[in-house]
Amino acid sequence: MRALSTAATGMEAQQLNVEVISNNLANMNTTGFKRQRAEFQDLLYQNVQSMGVDSSDAGTIVPTGVQVGLGVETASIYRITEQGSLNNTGNDFDLAISGRGYFRIQMPDGTDAYTRAGNFAVSPDGQIVTSEGYTVSPGIAIPQGTRDISINEQGQVQVLIDGQTAPQTVGQLELSTFFNEAGLEAMGNNLFLESAASGTATAGTPGSPGFGSVRQGFVEGSNVNSVSEITALISAQRAYEMNARVITAADEMLATSSNLR
């Protein structure tokens, strides 16, 4: 009976849907997190009667035919990159991007990763780094004796050093954009890698055309809406239950037919 395998694919799809939703809810307070959505597509169809063939000797044509669907499969898990809320922290090294772009991060092996999570800090040698200690590119060193640091919306980093009255520019932050942000490969720790699907990174100055601006003293929250996620969770749970009922009904039908004499 086709209904058994068809309903089983529905249960598997909704199980994955619940897993995606649970990951969104688990990261609702993760800095810079972008929620995901599972997308599905129907499987192949079994042609019982083809459409458009002759239906009788009179030459009439079958208008629709008979095609029986065989279930559902996951098409993709799509990352939604809309802006999260900007939360004021008052920390000079917390940076949020308002608009498009990612901070470029230099990994220990020399490769580049990208992040929207701007909860940065200073390393023992004065470099601006992520919470995992990875250097924010291009490397910007904060001089010893710095008593005030200012980062404007264009990403220019200025410091005021003890004994000086005028601020000193020590670096310029850059942002990177992609044609297809949803195609970035997540690697954990709020980091993404460039992929063939995302396209190559385009670097630019914050505030220039096509790039967002930098907000010092803020971090970008996740774009997870708890109400929407709970609603989607309930819908997925109900769909899972209904597919399970189809399996039960199909099993009862098979039991009935096997008991016929």
Q: To 10 degrees, the CA torsion angle through 51, 56, 57, 60? A: -60
Mean pLDDT of all residues belonging to the chain:
91
Q: pLDDT tens digits, residue range 131-172?
A: 999 999 998 989 888 889 999 999 999 998 887 778 889 999
Neighbours of 190 (CB within 10 A): 23
Kindly report the number of other CB atoms within 10 A of residue 257's CB atom: 9
What pLDDT is attached to residue 57? 60
Residue with tokens 């929207």: 116
Contact 84, 32 (CB under 8 A): yes
Counted residue by residue, the chain has a size of 261
Q: What is the dihedral of CA 241, 246, 247, 251, to 10 degrees?
A: 140
- 27: alpha, beta or left, given left = phi > 0 and alpha = psi -120 to 50? alpha
Q: Lowest mean pLDDT of 22-36, 228-242, 243-257, name the range.
A: 243-257
pLDDT over 80 at 97, yes or no: yes
Could you tell me if 67 and 95 are in contact, meaning their C-beta atoms sit under 8 angstroms apart? no
**H/E stretch holding 190:** none
The larger pLDDT score, comparing residue 255 to residue 34, is at: 34
For the record, the structure tokens of 222 come out as 């996740």
Is 182 or 147 the better-scoring residue by pLDDT? 182
Tell me how crowded residue 201 is: count the other CB atoms within 10 A of its CB. Answer: 19
Q: For residue 39, what pLDDT is reported?
A: 95
Contacts of 206 (CB under 8 A, 6+ apart): 97, 101, 153, 154, 155, 173, 174, 175, 212, 213, 214
Average pLDDT over residues 252-260: 80
The residues, any chain, with a CB within 8 Å of residue 84's CB and separated by 6 or more, are 32, 33, 34, 116, 220, 221, 222, 223
Nearest in space to 62 (alpha carbons), one of 74, 72, 70, 50: 50
Q: Name the residue type at position 43.
A: L
Phi, psi of 153 (to 5 degrees): -70, -20
**29-62 residue pLDDT tens:** 999 999 999 999 988 887 777 766 666 666 677 6
Q: What is the mean pLDDT of residues 241-255?
A: 89
- 191, exposed or middle or buried, with CB in 10 Å at 0-12, 13-18, 19+? buried
CA 152 to CA 221: how far, in whole Å?
Answer: 20
At 111-120, the pLDDT tens digits run: 999 999 999 9
Task: Using a pLDDT cut of 70, give the percent of the chain over it.
Answer: 95
Least confident stretch, 140-154, 191-205, 233-247: 140-154
% of the chain surpassing 90 pLDDT? 72
